[in-house]
Amino acid sequence: MEQVLRNLLSNAVKYSPHGGPVQVHVTRTPMEAVLEVADRGIGIPAQAQAHLFDAFYRARNVGSQISGFGLGLHIVHEIVQRHGGRIEVDSTEGVGSTFRVVLPRHQSDGPNSDSA
């Protein structure tokens, strides 16, 4: 999960011009833990969002100034799925993006089962 957080934070910073703000929120419900990473960066075109998690895919608005191979979000997607979770994105081109990782919480039967 460290790799997931590292990649999402790195992307948020990389795609936010002039060091725009990046917000991280972690919440939990009895059934799920949710991590959100939001930026006010370049955003993702609507037609590109369906392909974001494909290996080697990069949205057209990235340009050549921002380095990358299009593997980071693919790897994040694979890690999250292997943990039984899902990843979602809300984005508007020119406004910013929010990536949301939703993971199931595994609770034990013991008295201290409230840990995430």
Confidence at 18, pLDDT banded by 50, 70, 90: confident
Q: Can you read off the two tokens belonging to residue 22?
A: 């990046």
Give residue 103's pLDDT: 97
Which residues have a Cβ under 8 Å from the Cβ of 8 and sit 6 or more positions away?
A: 35, 37, 76, 99, 101
- Nearest to 99, CA basis, from 28, 32, 7: 7
Q: Can you read off the two tokens belonging to residue 25?
A: 């929120």
- In order of 20, 27, 29, 102, the CA distances from 39 in angstroms are 7, 18, 24, 18
- pLDDT tens readout for residues 48-60: 999 999 998 888 7
CATH class of domain segment(s) 2-104: alpha beta
Residue ranges with strand state E in the chain: 22-28, 32-39, 86-92, 96-104
Q: Name the residue with tokens 């949301």.
A: 100
Give residue 110's pLDDT: 45
Give residue 58's pLDDT: 81
Q: In what helix (H) or strand (E) does residue 116 lie, and over which residues does it extend?
A: none
Q: Which residues pair with 88 in a beta bridge?
A: 100
pLDDT at 113 over 80: no
- pLDDT tens readout for residues 42-91: 999 999 999 999 998 888 777 666 767 789 999 999 999 999 999 999 99
